[in-house]
Chain A
Amino acid sequence: MNNNEAIVVCRCEEVTYGALRFTAEEHQCTARELKLRTRAGMGFCGGRTCRIPLDRIIENVVSNISQGDTPLKYQPPIRPVTFGTVGEKND
């Protein structure tokens, strides 16, 4: 199991399984809070890769919580874009 502590769950921000479990156990929090505390899911891919594993960690650690409660939020831009693209004038 010690080996598993070092698994990188969020590859963009390099957050390990051990760090996520520790945070979830200490704060008994929602997936959204776990994200804000560790930066897991806040990297380049926008959490597309680790969203489900994060939900599973919370479900496993925090009792009386399901994936339906306080899900991770989505925010624009949902794809990496340059400032130039976002700042362009319409038409």
Chain B
Amino acid sequence: MRDVIVIGAGPAGLAGAIASASFGLKVTVIDEFIKPGGRLIGQLHQEPSGEWWNGIKESERLHQEAKTLSVDIRCGVSVYNLEKDDDLWNVHTSIGTLTAPYVLVATGAAEYPIPLPGWTLPGVMSIGAAQVMTNVHRVEVGKKGIIIGANILAFAILNELQLAGIHVDRIVLPEKNPLSGKAGEPEEVMKSLLNAAHLAPSPLLRMGSRFMKNGSFRKIGMKFYPKNGVKVNGTPLLLRKAAIEIIGTEQVEGVRVADTDENGNIIPGSEKIYEADFVCIAGGLYPLAELVAVSGCPFQYIPELGGHVPHHSEMMETPLEGLFVAGNITGIESGKIAMAQGTTAGYAIAKHAGKDGAAIDKQLQEAVQNVRSVREQAAIQFNPEIDSGRRKMSELWESLYSKNTRENSQIKIG
């Protein structure tokens, strides 16, 4: 008899499996990919401290720890439905239906595109796809690339492409229109990048960051933004150029780019074609919560967290008995936060399953506290307003469920 099914073998899911199994629960982890680690296995970067974050090593460490605790990990398995039947959750998968009283959904995030003319040509990919090809499959994505969209994820992956010796020729913005939204407005882009200036993509951004946080200085800054861009580890970041069209007959041959004014409006007659054999579109990430949605869990739209997120407590419970969530499905943040949340969810499951009182309470509280402190120490935030988003969710939870939850847990443990 299995106690817990974890869906997703990324940082949140593996950490959750380890925490539950450490209290003696029998855990099965399912993942769609051929090996565990989730998005961790694409990550490689240097922390502000100088230390390297090697996602492959992290995922191997988690995998080993899970195996030591006899966690059953099944890769290459897709889940297509999740529903409850009396006391058990039914997890419908490509290898049949698995059941357990507790389910942790840790399905992470998905990328969204910024559609533009020519984006369906071979050679155009999402920035995340370039990361997977480079760091997971070790396939060279091309000889000369252009990134459309300047955000934190694009910079992190640009750096990884550079480490792999792949030439990224330039970064431009998408054309300002309803499909690109703020990603096409130079000033908004600059504002979002400043929060990561200490990641130091460029000395100019770093030096100018405090001064550029002021709105009117920022306007002036955008007006006089260098036409040839600012170099990010050697790749020009062109905030005053917008991609109009990706061109090519059989595959990508280049990008038609126009100059823009400081508000992102195209300057007529300024179009130029830059050659490239691959193009990465960096739209952004949103919580991939399909399974929790089909299970019937209520959702809230919180833009600071990246979109629609399932209602959940700080202990990663959902309003549905036995259903827990962790990682990017609850809001777009780093892999370290996902791990801390996974650990919290794993202990919360052990507590709900009636594991020893005092020890589990202490560990659960420490785990909740640890999520907060990892967040405070985070070097980069995908959304600078993440704290406000997290606060909204915990207030929502307090107002809707907190009394219920307390009664339920007392009954369970008693």
Contact = CB atoms under 8 A, between A and B. Distances in A.
B293 interface: yes
Contacts of A86: 80, 92
Interface in B202-255: 244-245
B113 interface: yes
Interface string B100-127: 0000000000101111110110000000
Nearest to B95: A85
A36 interface: no
Nearest to A1: B177
Contacts of A85: 80, 94
Contacts of B115: 7-9, 17, 50, 53
A77 B81 contact: yes
A87 B171 CA distance: 48
A74 to B, nearest CB: 4
Contact of B294 (A7, A17, A75): A75
* B178, B290, B308: most-surrounded residue (chain A CB, <10 A): B178
Given A67-B301, A76-B81, A7 B116 contact: yes
Contacts of B82: 76
Interface string B235-279: 000000000110000000000000000000000000000000000
B199 interface: no
A40 B30 CA distance: 30
Interface residues of A, number: 37
A66 B301 contact: yes
A17 B78 CA distance: 31
Contacts of A7: 115-117, 119, 179
Contacts of A3: 117, 244-245
B283 interface: yes
Nearest to B299: A71
Contacts of A9: 115, 179
A8 B120 contact: yes
Nearest to B114: A53
Interface in B283-307: 283-284, 286, 288, 290-291, 293-294, 299-301, 303, 307
B181 A56 contact: yes
Nearest to A7: B115
B79 interface: yes
A7 B284 CA distance: 19
A8 B94 CA distance: 31
Contact of A52 (B78, B286, B293, B294): B286
B357 interface: no
Contacts of A67: 301, 303, 307-308
A60 B286 CA distance: 19
B96 interface: yes
A48 B301 contact: no
B112 A74 contact: no
B307 A4 contact: no
A61 B177 CA distance: 12
Contacts of A6: 117
A26 B283 CA distance: 28
A49 B114 CA distance: 10
30 contacts: A4-B116, A4-B117, A6-B117, A8-B115, A8-B119, A17-B179, A46-B290, A48-B290, A51-B112, A51-B286, A52-B283, A52-B284, A53-B113, A53-B114, A56-B179, A57-B179, A60-B178, A66-B301, A67-B301, A67-B303, A67-B308, A71-B301, A76-B80, A76-B83, A77-B81, A78-B79, A78-B290, A86-B92, A90-B97, A91-B97
Query: Closest 9 interchain pairs by CB?
Result: A68-B301, A60-B178, A52-B112, A76-B81, A77-B80, A74-B293, A79-B80, A78-B290, A79-B78
